[in-house]
Amino acid sequence: MTVSSRRFRVVDSPIGPLTLTWDDEAGAVVGVHVHDQRERGPDPAFGTPDDGACAALDDLAGELDEYFAGTRRTFSLPVDPPGTPFARAVFAALQDVPYGAVTTYGALAAAIDKPRAAQAVGTANARNPVSLLVPCHRVVTSAGHPSGGGPGVERKRLLQQLERGGP
């Protein structure tokens, strides 16, 4: 994947602005970033600003609106999150966590046949480049609490509440 094949668009959401990144070469979403997820300036890896002609970004923005309205539980666009083979295994396991459910870092580690790697699973989860589509907010500590990283603890709580049918 080359950066020149990527396009991005910033959209508003109930959890703040999101940067959506589509890669034409991969034919997939490669990024859904919460703006203050990390303190940094514009990222050249997002590619070029979308000129409004990318149908996939139109579709993704619409699906995210439906998700936040509580009418969408799954996303239809393919995702291709960059990462190490280990991280990609974590991202694949995350996609198996159903809407409205939660799992633990330890359970995810066991799901990828790395039962002693809960901390490494947490690190990969915190670096998830396609949050919401690969639902890192559905992972909690063994005590049942959301932890930092990714979109942040408060946003994780809001997303979990949304998926449980809350306001």
Q: Rounded to the nearest 10 degrees, how much is the dihedral formed by the CA atoms of 49, 52, 57, 60?
A: 130
- Residue numbers annotated as active site: 136
Provide Rg for the chain, Cα atoms: 15
Spatial distance between the Cα atoms of 5 and 87, rounded to a whole number of angstroms: 23
Q: Which helix (H) or strand (E) holds 145?
A: none
For residue 31, the tally of other CB atoms under 10 A from its CB is 24
Going by the DSSP 8-state scheme, the letter that residue 130 receives in this structure is B
Distance CA 159, CA 151 (A): 10
In 3D space, the residue among 44, 33, 29, 40 whose CA is nearest the CA of residue 10 turns out to be 33
If we measure between CA atoms, which residue out of 52, 42, 48 comes closest to residue 21? 48
